[in-house]
Structure 1
Amino acid sequence: MQIKDQIVLITGGARGLGLAISKALLREKARIVVNYLSSEQSAKQLEQEYPEQVFCAQADVTNADQIKALFIAAKQHFGSPISAVVNNALVHFEFNGDARPDLTSLTAEHLQSQFNGAVQAALNTTQAALEDMKKQQFGRIINIGTNLVQNPVVPYHDYTAAKAALLAFTRTSAHELGQYGINVNMLSGGLLQTTDASKATPDAVFDLIAASTPLRRVTTPEEFADAVLMFLSPFSRAVTGQNLIVDGGLVKG
């Protein structure tokens, strides 16, 4: 299915990386469902600018009932079900190495919060999407990960552990759902310049990352969003269960 023929849900799609993904999909003429929790103004602005392509819906991705209601509302709005999901929403996190919990202060609550925001959220959207995707014998699910799993240069224990679990869930889901024409993949970025989550990162860190990459620059949200398009396009129809690292070549997968 061509991107322009798809209805794509982007969780956290009204700010940061999610907004860049939303705009990339709009450029490709897809219809999109912009999920938000608190970024109502930004979501509504997209809806006003692209009334034929955008449906925005508030929902907590960790709440299964709210996500089910979102899928129903989107299907009613567009007259067709969601065909692709980008699990992008990031729950309560900031890339601030000085403020992160180290092993002496890390708690089970830190880990559980990030697990809920990554794995439980992906489970909720996947389960809500399955019935219609199976009927269509088509679906694309893209989970957003991190290159910190492969290269934990800053030990964000809670965030990285949750994304590692999400990678495992991506691969087991791909194994189970491939028979229905549903592809499940992960895109893992490095530190992006700049999103709400990375605005607390000092410029010196960005400079160090840029100097360490083959491309000699830090990846932007817009560049990362373009990689999302690859996994949604027909060109990746035989690709599933994979983790593509999009960080300018800093980390080798």
Structure 2
Amino acid sequence: MNIADQIVLVTGGARGVGAAAVRAFAREGARVVVNWRNSGEAAQGLAAEIGARAIALQADVADRPAVQAMVEKAQAHFGGPVTTVVNNALDYSFNGDARSMLADIGWRELENQFSTVVRGALNVIQATAPGMMTVGFGRVVNIGTNLFQNPVVPYHDYTAAKAALLSLTRTASADLGPAGITVNMVSGGLLRTTDASAATPDAVFDLIAGMTPLRHVTTPEEFADAVLFFASPWSRAVTGQNLVVDGGLVRD
């Protein structure tokens, strides 16, 4: 299925990577659901910017009934099942100086990240997969991180949750593959700049840029274009994979 024929749900779609993904899919002609939890004004503004091919819908992805209701509203609005999901929802601030250290981080901090990142992705996949099966086509793209390969800053809670999401990516791909649904991950490093990375000092951005072959910190727009690949016909034989998009910083 071409991107222009897809109905795409982007969780956490009002800001940062999510908003860049929404704009990228809209640019290619897709109909897009901009999911939001707290950023209602930004989500409504983004949907208005795109026009009739976008709708903003609120749901906390950690709340399964709310996710189910959102998916049903989206399908009623667009007249068909959600075919493509970008699991991007995140509640985190990347500030190495303020991070919780291993000696005193509490389980609750990890649990909070698992709730949004892993439970949220699971809820969305479970709510959308039946509709995908009715048309014999589905694309799930989970947003990951290069930090579990290169923990240059040890964000213990965030990184553990994203590592678990990679495992879910691979196990879900095995279950959903026979139904024509692929499940992949796109993993970034530090992006310049999102709300989540706004607290990062310029010196850190410059240091990372100097470590990449491109001498450049990846932007949300560049990252979003890689997400499009996994929704496109060119990736039809690819599933259970993790594509690192960070300017070549991590190469394994």
How far apart are residue 49 of structure 1 and its match? Answer: 2.6
Shift of 1:155: 0.5
Structure 1 CA distance for aligned equivalents of residues 169 and 12 of structure 2:
19
Q: How does 1:31-70 map to 2 (within 5 A)?
A: 31-70=31-70
Q: CA deviation at 1:186?
A: 0.3
Question: Aligned pair 1:211/2:210, yes or no?
Answer: yes
CA positional deviation for 1:130:
1.4
Deviation at 1:104, TM superposition (A): 1.5
CA distance in 1, matches of 2:203, 2:20: 24
RMSD: 0.7
> Which residue pairs with 1:7 in the alignment?
7
CA drift at 1:50:
2.6
Aligned to 1:246: 245
Deviation at 1:136, TM superposition (A): 1.1
State the TM-score, normalizing by the size of structure 2.
0.99
1:134 offset after TM fit, Å?
1.1
Q: Secondary structure at the match of 1:34?
A: strand
> SS of 1:33's equivalent?
strand
Equivalent position of 1:165 in the other structure: 164
Task: Determine the structure 2 residue equivalent to 1:116.
Answer: 115
Give a deviation string over 1:77-136, Cα, whole Å, max 9, x none: 011110000000102x11000111001221110110011111100100000011111111
Partner of 2:229 in structure 1?
230
- Which residue matches 1:174? 173
Q: What is the deviation of 1:51?
A: 2.7
Aligned partner letter, 1:40: G
TM-score when normalising by structure 1: 0.98
Map 1:84-123 onto structure 2 (within 5 A). 84-91=84-91, 93-123=92-122
Structure 2: how far apart are the matches of 1:56 and 1:133?
21
Q: Distance in 2 between matches of 1:15 and 1:48?
A: 14
Distance (Å, rounded) in 2 between the aligned partners of 1:219 and 1:193 = 6
1:182 corresponds to which letter in structure 2? I
Q: CA deviation at 1:41?
A: 1.1
Show structure 2 runs of 5+ residues with no match: none
SS of structure 2 residue aligned to 1:192: coil
Report the Cα distance in structure 2 between the residues aligned to 1:187 and 1:51, rounded to whole angstroms. 27
Cα distance in structure 2, aligned partners of 1:50 and 1:224: 20
Deviations 1:176-209, CA, capped at 9 Å, x for gaps: 1100000000000000000000000000100010
Q: What fraction of aligned residue pairs are identical, expressed as a percent? A: 60
Aligned length: 252
Q: CA deviation at 1:40?
A: 1.0
Distance 1:109 1:6 in 2: 38
Aligned to 2:183: 184
Q: State the alpha-carbon separation in 2 of the partners of residues 44 and 101 from structure 1.
A: 34
Letter in 2 for 1:61: V
